[in-house]
Amino acid sequence: MATDRGLKAFYFKCGLTQMVIPEYMRHGLTDYVNDGVPPGQFLAAIICNDLKAAVMYADDTNLENIPAYVNFFYNHAPMPCWGSKQAMDSWIAKKLLERTIANEKTIAHETNQKG
């Protein structure tokens, strides 16, 4: 998913201006996209397409780089994981279910190996 596209996904150039998703935000971003880990307030606002909240919760670095987040989600993230609060909540629930099923399969496999 997000990490499969490499570092290029975190950068966005508009005219002569280079914008970037800061390194300290990348782990939370990829954890959300890949595993459905609930994001913090700023990232949740970006994911939910809530510009007013994104501006309110952004630190100075993220405020300057909001277009890089828009670029990331539009061009590099699965469409169902962003765009509204409902999309975010559904993505988190979907990924939780996937992890639960994977864990149950692992436990069943380990139990069968012991027995």
**pLDDT one-digit tens code per residue, 12-39:** 888 878 899 999 999 999 999 999 999 9
> What is the Cα–Cα distance from 23 to 5, expressed in whole angstroms?
15
Largest CA distance in the chain: 64
What is the predicted pLDDT for the residue at 5? 54
Average pLDDT of the chain, as a whole number = 90
With a cut of 50, say whether residue 55 has pLDDT above it.
yes
- Rounded to the nearest angstrom, the gap between the alpha carbon of residue 86 and the centroid of all alpha carbons in its chain is 15
Q: What are the structure tokens assigned to 50, written together?
A: 């809530």
Instruction: Return phi, psi of residue 6, to 5°.
Output: 75, -175
Three-state secondary-structure class, residue 50: coil
Q: What are the structure tokens assigned to 18, written together?
A: 């280079």
Choose the weakest-confidence range: 50-54, 64-68, 99-103: 99-103
> What is the Cα–Cα distance from 9 to 21, expressed in whole angstroms?
9
